[in-house]
């Protein structure tokens, strides 16, 4: 009886944990649906800014700063919560591989996400830890903190590379966002006349760079959060399935023990009845 009760208590506990995980899975699914809507608009905005920059720089390439020595800064979009597999480990592996390949010896790291922070809390290369994001609505505040951290580093020119996950790819993406538009330095004009500007070219580029940085970082943060939730959804689905299988095994074991208890009870009843009949027959002889 005691062992069967322990099995039942274990099965009940598994059921409660399963309900919690199932709720987490539902929330992750809802977040991916919401992010898919945000991403379409954000990707369109970034693509539009890039097209404007390409057209502008085809006629005004001299406004781009000349290549010079930059302080190498890396922004890592890690996870704030767990249950997302190797999400954070793959970021660190990609970072180290990139640093070795490009011979970057003294990078400055901006790290977002509590789970990634746990891996890097004693790393001297880290310049700032920034709270991660749980839902899409957290992105705005997180990016404001990123911009503040960048402003504190800009004692000299900064080259900013961002490491983030993309749902469509199995690997981490490393994208350079500062200084921007370097790939358009030698763009060819597509139209016979330069674009008509209401600002001096230098001011126009400065405004465009500001909008691009904020839009691109929004897109990357959304992509990272989308991937995190998809990983969490996959991870939790596997965990829930495993718990269902374990609960089924426990139920079978509990039923088997209950059958044994019933058989034992029947045997006791039969034995008691036999003894009673024997005593009654003995009495009337």
Q: Is the pTM of this model over 0.85?
A: no
Q: Domains in the chain and their CATH numbers? A: 25-185+198-232 (3.40.1380.10)
Q: What is the model's pLDDT at position 85?
A: 83
> In the prediction, which pLDDT does 189 show?
87
pLDDT: which is higher, 266 or 48? 48
- DSSP-derived secondary structure for 51-116: HHHHHHHHH-GGGSPPP---EEEEEEE--SSS-STTHHHHHHHHHHHHHHHTT--S-EEEEESHHH
* 88 band by pLDDT with thresholds 50, 70 and 90: very high
Rounded to an integer, what distance in angstroms lies between the CA atom of residue 190 and that of residue 237? Answer: 50
DSSP 98-138: HHHHTT--S-EEEEESHHHHHHHTT-TTEEEEE---SSGGG
- For residues 89 and 155, the model is more confident at 89
Q: What is the mean pLDDT of the chain?
A: 86
Write the pLDDT tens digit of every residue in 117-173. Answer: 999 999 999 999 999 999 989 999 999 999 999 888 867 788 999 999 998 877 899
């Amino acid at each position: 009886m005691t062992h069967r009760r322990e099995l039942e208590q274990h099965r009940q506990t598994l059921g409660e944990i399963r309900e919690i995980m199932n709720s987490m899975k539902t929330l992750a699914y809802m977040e991916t649906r919401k992010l898919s809507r945000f991403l379409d608009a954000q990707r369109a905005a970034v693509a539009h800014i890039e097209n404007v920059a390409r057209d502008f720089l085809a006629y005004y390439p001299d406004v781009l700063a000349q290549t010079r020595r930059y302080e190498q800064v890396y922004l890592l979009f890690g996870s704030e919560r767990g249950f997302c597999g190797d999400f954070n480990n793959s970021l660190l592996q990609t970072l180290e591989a990139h640093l070795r390949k490009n011979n970057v010896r003294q990078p400055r790291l901006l790290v977002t996400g509590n789970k990634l922070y746990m891996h890097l809390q004693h790393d001297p290369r880290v310049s700032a830890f920034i709270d991660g994001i749980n839902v899409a609505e957290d992105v705005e505040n997180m990016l404001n903190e990123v911009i503040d951290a960048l402003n504190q580093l800009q004692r000299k020119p900064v080259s900013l590379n961002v490491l983030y996950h993309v749902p469509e790819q199995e690997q981490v993406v490393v994208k350079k966002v500062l200084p921007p538009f370097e790939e358009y330095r030698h763009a060819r004009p597509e139209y016979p006349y330069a674009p008509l500007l209401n600002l001096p070219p230098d001011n126009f580029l400065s405004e465009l760079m500001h909008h691009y940085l904020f839009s691109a970082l929004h897109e990357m943060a959304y992509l990272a959060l989308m991937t995190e939730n998809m990983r969490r959804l996959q991870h939790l689905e596997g965990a829930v399935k495993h718990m269902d299988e374990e609960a089924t095994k426990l139920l079978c074991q509990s039923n088997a023990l209950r059958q044994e208890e019933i058989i034992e009870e029947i045997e006791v009843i039969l034995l008691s009845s036999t003894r009673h009949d024997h005593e009654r027959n003995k009495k009337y002889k």
